[in-house]
Amino acid sequence: MTTIDMSQYLDVFLEESREHLANLNRCLLELEQQPHNGAALNEIFRAAHTLKGMSSTMGFEDLADLTHHMEDVLSSLKEAVLEVNGQVTDVLFRCFDRIQIMVEGIERERSGELDNSDLVALLETLKSGDSQAAALAEPAPVPARAAQAEGEAPVRFELNDYDLALIDEARNRGFKVLLLEVEVDQNCAMKTVRSFMVFKALESEGDITKAAPPVQDLEDGKFDSGFSLLYVTHLNAEEVQRRINGISEVRANSVKEFGLDEYQAGQVPDQAEADRGNPAAQAQPADNGSKVQKFKQKVRVDIEKLDEMMNLVGELVMHKGRLEQIGLISKNSELEETVEQVDRITTELQSVVMKVRMVPIEQVFNRFPRMVRDLAKELGKEIDFIMEGQETELDRTVIDEIGDPLIHLLRNALDHGIELPQERLQGGKPGRGMVKLSARHEGNNVYIEVEDDGRGINLERVLEKAVNKGLISSREAEQITAEEAFRLVFTPGFSTAAEVTDVSGRGVGLDVVKAKMEAIGGEISVASKAGRGTRFTIKLPLTLAIIQALTVSVGEEIYAIPLSNVDETTMISDQDIKMVQNQEVILLRGKVLPLYRLRSLLDVPGEAPVQESTYVVVVRKADRQAGLVVDALIGQHEIVIKSLGKLLSGISGLAGAIVAGDGNVHLILDVASLF
Amino acid sequence: MQAVENKSYSDSKQEMQVVAFQLGLEEYAVDIINVQEIIKLHKVTRIPRTEPYVEGVINLRGNIIPLFNLHTKFKLPARGSSEDQRIIVFQLDDIKAAIIVDKVSEVLHINTGDIEATDHVYQGMNASHINGIAKIEDRILILLNIYKILINDNIR
């Protein structure tokens, strides 16, 4: 497993590599059009050099090796030993494409291993000044290094299209392509030396294009008793065999013409393998310069600077609002037009800044596979853990908050959801359970789901518990819908686990998860089928920093209510208010709506104004509605949420504050904890 | 921060700068190192559902800063006109917080040798709120442990 530190460097490496690649492609395009453009050549040289240094520092040897050979050719160009022509730029473009494939490979699987002997050979030929021959792709005597370790099969070369073309070409030109099975004596003390001597003997009369195991392994002595080679030579098989057998402790078991058809017949058309083993083919369609557009320059920015930027944009949004008001009052059409422009630009700026702050949810997801694995082991359960949509982006503020709730849900799924293997088999399910964590965008929201194929939520037991704990009456239990019943699991003080285990812990239940989600403007719901599994769905806003809010006044004070909590506003007269069990209520379209007076909820100084009608803001608190009585409605605004700070955190009913256009501070109400 | 809290200045002979101000009938002082700025009275937004000594929050150039009323906290009589009243804004670690004072007297250099430790209790304050008493000519300054008063007493 890659350590965090390493992956941090890796990010920098990947980003910078992409930048250099973009640079390389751009400059090479320039150079292609103006072969005497020294500045472009210098830039290419510089970028290639840096790339070489970086990749060798990071230990990506294949990448370093390729860039090293590129650099050789580039310095020949610089010294004017070599001329910039179509072949040269062609080969270089192909090198860049290959580098990109390697960089992508590094990003995907943390390894940039790739057999670049074909390109290296081309570069060598270029450097030797024979650019015409380069087009013919004559391989240079550079030991081939197969991209992947060979399997048990006696001959298992990874040949890409390029290699195949090369073999074909060699044949056409009268060379023989031989397949050699070389055996080194079991008692040989220095196998490496023997293999080296074989190479030496062969390379004087031809080229070894492939080796299995790879040359690196042969050099390190990492092979059993023998190895296979693909050898292009003008010698005949007997002569080759004789030469090898001339080396002590080494025997050529077989030397025969390499059958291309046989090889191809033996190849399993495995797409994934073909993709990996066949970089040249992949690079082919990208050979022209059109793909330069694909690369993007990136800058690493301190997150604090982004926060500051967000704050400033927030201020701007506020003052824009103020400007709009002035425009409306003054009825100056020129001002109105300008304000409209400012409005458009501010909105755009806001969305750009918002996008800049987005980070992939991967940051949170990354730690889960290990956690799930360990936990499954501890619980004696077998689990396939699937993650999807790690690339889904969320505002950093939201990302910071979802880690713990997700851990809780995953633990729940593992502990309570998935059954023990035996139980699963008895129930006709596969012994391995499945837990899936997925994220996706939908409109202005992000949905995160934690799904398992475990035993599901037992509705009867939920209801029994709820009645036992006095959460609902037994009468209510009879009439309750399945949906409502599932919702009970989020009620404080509810836990369905028959026994409390170490894993899910004691006391902390789904109610905490729900509270946390609501605190960041999210919602959580659950769906379940007995015996089939459970799915928790979390719906989150894309961002928390800027929201729409309704501002209201009570006495001298002004409060903002997040619009996501507001269902509607209405006006009632005093006669509409009824008393039920000491609680003021109104009837809103036949539904009983409890009334809360903001003045008394918040101890606002002063008396309520005497007026014929009263304003009521109908707010939604989870699945319940309530009416908030206010003195006046001011309007709907885009507001920038600011924290009240550490010293005033955790005050019930307050979600934060805003700085209004006139510089005054107004408080934002947190409907979930207000009443 | 523990060190700052319990620090007694009487051992060393260094000079320190303090901001001296009036709160009720007595004169107090705070180490200038914690003072960010002193401003005139501001529009204060009341914070409901919190302790009475939380006066509210103010907007200082876009930053929302909690304002505490030490008169209420330590049951000191208010004195002086609102003309003289000032808000002292403190920067304590990464937290900003402010208090209302009746009058800011001056910035003084005091010799740490002149500071006496005390366990005397003034009004609602206990010894932990006070770093010591400084006698300068005929004046007596009570050195407040502003970190304890604003942070330790309020952090939740």
Q: Do A390 and A362 touch, CB atoms closer than 8 A?
A: yes
Distances (CA, A) of A193 to A198, A246, A249, A280, A651: 9, 15, 11, 33, 76
- Region A366-395: what's the mean pLDDT? 86
A24 inside domain: yes
Across the interface, of B43, B59, B97, the residue whose CB is closest to A647 is B97
Q: What is the CATH number of the domain that holds A85?
A: 1.20.120.160
Determine the residue type at A31: L
pLDDT band at A8 (very low <50, low <70, confident <90, very high): low
Instruction: Among B48, B59, B156, select the one facing A665 at the smallest CB separation.
Output: B59
Q: How far apart are CA A264 and CA A163, in angstroms?
A: 12
> Looking at beta carbons, which residues of chain B come within 8 Å of A651?
47-50
Predicted pLDDT at A487: 84
Q: Measured between CB atoms, does A646 come within 8 Å of chain B? A: yes
| Lowest mean per-residue pLDDT among A405-409, A450-454, A621-625, B73-77 | A621-625
Instruction: Flag whether residue A659 sits within 8 Å of chain B, measured between CB atoms.
Output: yes
User: Higher confidence at residue A159 or residue B70?
Assistant: B70
What is the DSSP code string of A3-55?
-HHHHHHHHHHHHHHHHHHHHHHHHHHHHHH-TT-HHHHHHHHHHHHHHHHHH
Q: Are A75 and A125 in contact (CB under 8 A)?
A: no
Fill in the DSSP letter of residue A631: S
What residue in A sits closest to B153 (Cα-Cα)?
A647
pLDDT tens per residue across span A501-512: 444 443 457 888
Nearest chain B Cα distance for residue A653, angstroms: 8
Residue A144: predicted pLDDT: 37
Residue ranges per structural domain of chain B: 32-104, 106-136
Contacts of A19 (CB under 8 A, 6+ apart): A295, A297, A298
List the one residue out of B126, B55, B129 whose CA is nearest residue A647: B55
Alpha-carbon span A7 to A110, nearest angstrom: 9
Q: Which amino acid is at A461?
A: R
Alpha-carbon gap, residue B152 to B19, rounded angstroms: 21
In this predicted structure, the answer to whether residue A373 has a pLDDT above a threshold of 90 is no
One domain for residues A535 and A646: no
Chain B contact present for A647, CB below 8 A:
yes
What pLDDT score does A7 carry? 60
Mutate to test the interface with B, among A600, A647, A652, A669 (most CBs of B within 10 A): A647
Residue A277 scores a pLDDT above 80: no
Label the pairing between strands A557-562 and A665-669. parallel
- CB atoms under 10 Å from CB of A12, counted, come to 12
Residue that is written with structure tokens 């009824």 in the block: A578
d(Cα A325, Cα A328) in Å, to the nearest integer? 5
Over residues B73-91, the pLDDT tens digits come to 888 887 777 888 999 999 9
Do residues A449 and A536 touch, judged by C-beta distance below 8 A?
A: yes
pLDDT confidence band for B96 (50 / 70 / 90): very high
A520 and A384, same domain (yes or no): yes
Tell me the nearest-neighbour CA distance from B94 into chain A, angstroms: 10
| pLDDT-wise least confident of A2-11, A44-53, A469-478, A654-663 | A2-11
Q: H or E segment at A335? A: helix A333-356
**Distance separating alpha carbons of residues A260 and A159, to the nearest angstrom:** 10
Is-contact A436 A452, C-beta < 8 A? yes
Give the pLDDT confidence of A283-313 residue by residue, as tens digits. 334 334 333 344 456 677 777 788 788 778 8
Distance between the two ends of chain B, CA-based, in angstroms? 17
What pLDDT is recorded for position A505? Answer: 44
Among the listed residues B22, B18, B23, B58, the one whose alpha carbon sits nearest the alpha carbon of residue B34: B18
Residue A649's closest chain B neighbor by CA? B156
Is the confidence at residue A54, as pLDDT, over 50?
yes
Write down the ipTM of this complex. Answer: 0.88
Cis bond before residue A213 (omega within 30° of 0):
yes
Q: What percent of chain B has pLDDT over 70?
A: 87
Place of tokens 């990996």: A276
For residues A557-569, average pLDDT: 92
Percentage above 90 pLDDT, chain A: 13
Q: What is the pLDDT of residue A500?
A: 44
Is residue A341 within 8 Å of A324, Cβ to Cβ? no
Apex CA B75: angle with CA B74 and CA B79, to 5°?
110
Please give the share of chain A, as a percent, with pLDDT higher than 70: 84
Gap between the Cα atoms of A583 and A579, Å rounded: 5
Residues A183 and A259 occupy one common structural domain: yes
Is the separation of the CB atoms in B66 and B57 below 8 Å? yes
Q: Which helix H or strand E contains B39, and what residues bound it?
A: strand B35-40
Query: A607 lies in a domain?
Result: yes
The per-residue pLDDT for B22 is 92
Are B66 and A645 in contact (CB < 8 Å)? yes
pLDDT at residue A296 in the model? 55
Q: At what angle do helices A4-33 and A38-58 cross, to 10 degrees?
A: 160
Token look-up 């502003």 returns: B146
What does the pLDDT read at residue A453? Answer: 92
- Judge contact between A181 and A192, C-beta under 8 A: no
Does any domain span residue A90? yes
Q: What is the pLDDT of residues A606-655, one digit of tens each?
A: 888 888 889 999 998 877 899 999 999 999 887 878 888 889 988 899 98
Q: Is the pLDDT of residue A496 over 60?
A: no
Average pLDDT estimate for A397-402: 82
Cα–Cα distance measured from residue B105 to residue B108, given in angstroms and rounded to the nearest whole number = 9
Q: Which residue has the tokens 């849900």?
A: A409
pLDDT in the model for residue A503: 45
Report the C-alpha gap between B154 and B156 in whole angstroms.
6
With CB atoms and an 8 Å threshold, state whether B49 touches A644.
Answer: no
Domain assignment of residue A289, yes or no: no
Say yes or no for a CB contact (<8 Å) between B154 and A647: yes
Q: Which has the closest alpha carbon to A147: A93, A198, A107, A111?
A: A111
Confidence of residue A152 (pLDDT cuts 50, 70, 90): very low
| Domain boundary residue, one of A135, A159, A187 | A135
Cα A636 to Cα A337, A561, A566: the distances in Å are: 21, 9, 11
pLDDT reported for residue A271: 42
Q: Is A474 exposed, middle or buried (0-12, 13-18, 19+ CB in 10 A)?
A: exposed
A600 touching B (Cβ < 8 Å): no
Of B46, B54, B64, the CB nearest to A642: B64
Instruction: Estimate the crossing angle of helix A86-109 against helix A117-127, to 10 degrees.
Output: 150
What tens digit of pLDDT does each residue of B130-148 get? 888 898 888 889 999 999 9
Binned at pLDDT 50, 70 and 90, residue B3 comes out as very low
Number of H helices and E strands in chain B, helices first, is 3, 11
Rounded CA-CA distance A51/A64 in Å is 8
Instruction: Tell me the β-bridge partners of A549.
Output: A562, A637
- Categorize the per-residue pLDDT at A48 as very low, low, confident or very high, splitting at 50, 70 and 90: confident
How many other C-beta atoms are found inside a 10 Å radius of the C-beta of residue A563?
15
pLDDT for the residue A605: 92
Is A629 within the bounds of a domain? yes
pLDDT of residue A639: 80
Please judge whether A315 and B45 are an interchain contact, meaning their C-beta atoms are less than 8 angstroms apart. Answer: no
Residues A55 and A90 in one domain: yes
**Which distant-in-sequence residues (6+ apart) come within 8 Å of B15 by Cβ?**
B109, B110, B111, B112
What are the residues facing A624 on neighbouring strands? A621
Contact A619, A561 (CB under 8 A): yes
Q: Both tokens of residue A508?
A: 């902390």
Tally Cβ neighbours within 10 Å of residue A590.
Answer: 5
- Number of Cα atoms under 13 Å in the Cβ half of residue B141: 28
Q: What is B32-104's CATH number, 2.40.50.180, 3.30.930.10, 1.10.1040.10, 3.10.20.30?
A: 2.40.50.180
Residue A349 lies in a domain: yes
The identity of residue A596, as a single letter, is Y
Beta strands in A423-532 (DSSP E): 433-442, 445-452, 523-529
- Any idea which of A158-172, A244-258, B50-64 has the lowest mean pLDDT? A158-172
| Sign of the dihedral defined by the CA atoms of residues A276, A281, A287, A290, in that order | negative
pLDDT digits (tens, 9 = 90+) for A302-342: 777 887 887 788 778 777 877 887 877 888 888 888 888 88
Domain coverage including residue A599: 546-674
Q: Quote the radius of gyration of chain A (alpha carbons, Å).
A: 35
Of A206, A194, A263, the C-alpha closest to A239 is A206
Same domain for A590 and A521 = no
Contact A665 B49 (CB under 8 A): no
Same domain, A127 and A187: no
Check: CB of residue A120 under 8 Å from CB of residue A69.
yes
Does residue A226 or residue B111 have the better pLDDT? B111
Same domain, A79 and A174: no
Burial class (CB in 10 A: 0-12, 13-18, 19+), A266: exposed
- pLDDT recorded at residue A598: 95
Is A436 in the same domain as A421? yes
Considering the domain architecture, whether residues A270 and A172 belong to the same structural domain is answered as: yes
Residues of B in contact with A665 (CB under 8 A): 43, 45, 57-59, 64
What's the mean pLDDT when you consider all of chain B? 85
CATH of the domain at A626: 2.40.50.180
Q: Output the domain CATH number for residue A154.
A: 3.30.70.1110
Q: What is the pLDDT of residue A275?
A: 42
pLDDT of residue A282: 39
Burial class (CB in 10 A: 0-12, 13-18, 19+), A285: exposed
Count CB pairs under 8 A between chains A and B.
Answer: 69
Do the Cβ atoms of A375 and A411 come closer than 8 Å?
A: yes
Question: If you average pLDDT over every residue of chain A, what do you get?
Answer: 79
Q: According to DSSP H, which parts of chain B are helical?
A: 2-6, 70-74, 146-147
Say what the pLDDT of residue A110 is. Answer: 75
Which residue in A600, A665, A673 has the most chain B C-beta atoms within 10 A of its own C-beta, making it the best mutation to test that interface? A665
Question: Mean pLDDT across the stretch B94-98?
Answer: 91
Find chain A residues with C-beta within 8 A of B43's C-beta. Answer: 663-665
Among A308, A642, A648, pick the best mutation site for testing chain B contact (most B Cβ within 10 A): A648
Same domain, A367 and A512: yes
Reported as a single tens digit per residue, the pLDDT across A105-139 is: 888 777 777 888 888 888 888 877 654 544 444 44
Residues contacting A658, CB < 8 A, separation 6+? A318, A549, A560, A639, A640, A641, A642, A665, A666, A668
- Clarify whether residues A107 and A127 are in a common domain: yes
Q: Distances in Å between the alpha carbon of A54 and those of A10, A51, A61, A68, A291?
A: 10, 5, 10, 12, 23
Query: Based on the structure, what is the number of domains in chain A?
Result: 5
Same domain for A203 and A259, yes or no, is yes
Of A315, A651, A666, the CB nearest to B45: A666
Question: What pLDDT is attached to residue A544?
Answer: 66
pLDDT score of A133 = 47
pLDDT at B34: 93
For the cut 90, the answer to whether the pLDDT of residue B29 exceeds it is yes
| Catalytic (active-site) positions of A | 49, 71, 412
